[in-house]
Each structure stands twice: as C-alpha cells, then as structure tokens.
A = this chain, B = another copy of it.
C-alpha cells in the first residue's frame, strides 16, 4: 500500500488539499444560491419544478428567465472555467516539489481572488473589481503552469 500518511506529510500537498477543498466548497455554494433565488423569486427552467405552484397553464408562467438567477449562474460557470484549471495545474504543481512558501502564496492568492470575484459578481460591485479578481486568479494559475512546463516538460 502507498503510505498515504507519507503523502499527507508533504506540506505543499496538505496546503493544496486545504485550499482546493475550500474553493470547491465555495463553488458548491453557488448551487444553493441559484436554488435559493429560483425558489424565492419563483423562476424555474423545468415544468416539473413549478408543479407545486399551480397546475397546467398557471404553472407555466414560472418558466422564465430572471436577471438575478442568471447572474448567479454566470458566476457559477465562471467559477467552473477557472477552478478546473486551478485544480488540475495546482495538483500537478503541488507534486512537482515547489518551495512551500511560494506554493502557499499561489494558493492563498487564488482562493482570495475567487472569493472576492464571487462577492463582486453577486453584489455587484462596479468594475474593475470583478475584472481584477478574475485576472489575479488567472495569473496565479498561469504562473503555476509556467513553472510546471519550464521544469517538467516531456512531450
């Protein structure tokens, strides 16, 4: 058996585990936010979802699009588009033996930027708050990708 206790004694990997779990939990929260707005605003995408609000034609009026719900959905999709590269590249980066303090700086910046991005998207804050948060997260992932490709290229 692999000594997984060993892998978990790797401090960079432990830090990656912590930050990845936190940012994925934040992303999962977006599903709850979407459901919350759908129910409180009675805005649904599927006929079966609004069956409890009326039958037949009277329920169909709830099959609509709402600015608030679409905003949460855009924030959620943006999370997916940015957290997936962070997970993939970050995991490989963690296993490539980086300096602990450099690695933690990357993880902290990314998680902080994505949480700020969500706040800026949902309130919303005026631009360039959201744009800057996006580019900080983007830059962090790119920096990890650059270090990986510089040191470990095998094509």
Contact = CB atoms under 8 A, between A and B. Distances in A.
Given A4-B96, A97-B8, A81 B31 contact: yes
Nearest to A70: B45
Count the copies: 3
Interface residues of A, number: 69
A153 B126 CA distance: 34
Given A21-B149, A49-B127, A74-B45, A6 B2 contact: yes
Given A48-B130, A154-B11, A20 B92 contact: yes
A123 to B, nearest CB: 9
* Chain A interface SS verdict (over half): helix
A28 B127 contact: no
A14 interface: yes
B1 A9 contact: yes
23 contacts: A2-B3, A4-B95, A8-B97, A11-B154, A15-B155, A17-B154, A18-B152, A19-B155, A21-B88, A21-B148, A24-B89, A24-B145, A25-B85, A28-B141, A30-B81, A31-B82, A31-B134, A45-B74, A46-B71, A46-B74, A48-B127, A48-B130, A91-B91
